[in-house]
Amino acid sequence: MGRTRWTRAELWKLSRACQIYENQRRIIKLIEFPDVGLVALNNAVDRLTNFEPDDGLEKLDLRADTDPQSVAEEIQAHIDSHPTSRTYLPSFFVAHLKREKVVEEVYTASEETIEESQVEYLRSRIKQLESSNTQLFKAIGSQRELGTMVAEAVRAVPPYKKYTQAKVSKSKTPVSAIFLWSDWHIGEVIDSEETEGFGEYNYQIAEHRLFKIIDDFLRWVEVQREAYHIDHCAVYCLGDYISGDIHHELVATNEFPVPVQTAKAGILMGEGFRRLSPHFENIDAYQNSGNHDRLTKKMQFKQRGSNSFAYLVHTIADTYAEKLDNLTIHQTLGTKQIASVADWNFLLEHGDGMRAWMGIPFYGIEREKGREAFKRMNTDKTFDCMAIGHWHVPTLLGGVILINGSLSGTTEYDHGAGRHSPPCQVGCLVHPEHGIFNLVPFIQRVAA
């Protein structure tokens, strides 16, 4: 095959021949050579791909064949005679072109072509950017026009009448106050040195805290009476009034024996009823047992309310406050009871039967609520809300589950487990239409 000069259209034929082979074999691109000059040849051929034949164009001194199919057939014949060339096909073209002594010529000729292509590319890029800017200006103009239209629409809206806040009048609907009492752990001793000051407790502190919390609750009720009609109070006594002897460390460190704990806790509860009595027309006390009050080593369900020191605490408290005409006692001998307050039914229990893992079992409490609701369907024992103790963290879960705090606060066990909750008891209001609102944990950190 002789040496000749080629137009750009003929270079396009050469490129097409390479594409024919690539489509047939799907192995490599035939004109991707490692040599710098041959890379320039590749770029020049690629940029000339879309040009039509024009004999008046500048010619390049390159060797090729006029028929693209013949070029493809020559490549195929070489591969068939040299099977290993399939992998080393770029080397074959390098050697073939060097034999024709066109590498240097191609490199020199392609520089001008690349410069021309760069100019063409930059011009095209400028046109593209100008077009983008035009579209952007149109979009900005549309946005400004839309903003103007929206502003005009707003101006066209007639203004509201001048707002004046109406004078708040006292609600005529009776609202009930709820006060949660649980987890007093009377008799337990918490050493501040063992808790780094996060917790301290003994009977003197317990007495001071409880009476101070009751005072704070009553002052809060007086403030709420500026807007609500509050004549009724429901006290949820949810157990764990004493420390008990259910753990060995409690047996060793309790401030008093269990009978003394029971007597002191009962007197404190009775005194609490006596201090609440003058401030309400009616008080309903709902009494449940806990797990620290139990007489057995493990939690029991049969005779839970009667075979418990909580029963004695309730008896002492009820006897202490028996002369209060506005106090009604509702004591259960089981694990749960329903309290109807402001037309809302509350399911009361201590909460120790809810399985826990990694802290407060919020999901476990929700599951317990679901099971209880399903069990009580189509009966006269349905409920709207729940109230529990045991977990020592004041919370309103899901708007319907009250969780009380503790009077003792952070214990050595809590401190070791990285938990902390200040000593508190929870109070809230219940509206006949709206349910629970204004929940307040009455926190008391000050020792006696």
pLDDT (tens place) for every residue of the chain, 448 residues total: 443 444 555 555 555 555 554 444 433 333 333 333 444 444 444 443 433 444 333 333 334 444 545 555 555 555 556 554 444 444 444 444 444 444 444 444 445 565 676 777 788 888 888 888 888 888 888 888 888 888 888 888 888 888 887 777 778 899 999 999 999 999 999 999 998 988 999 999 999 999 999 999 999 999 999 999 999 999 999 999 999 998 889 989 999 999 999 999 999 999 999 999 999 999 999 999 999 999 888 888 888 888 899 999 999 999 999 999 999 999 999 999 999 999 999 999 999 888 766 567 888 899 999 999 999 999 999 999 999 999 999 999 999 999 999 999 988 888 887 778 899 999 999 999 999 999 999 998 654 4
Please give the single-letter amino acid code of residue 187: G
For the chain, the structural domain boundaries read 8-122, 174-443
CATH architecture type of domain 174-443: 4-Layer Sandwich (3.60)
Cα angle 432, 434, 438; round to 5: 105
CB contact at 8 A, 7 and 57: yes
Task: Supply the pLDDT for residue 209.
Answer: 95
Task: Supply the pLDDT for residue 96.
Answer: 44
CB contact at 8 A, 224 and 429: yes
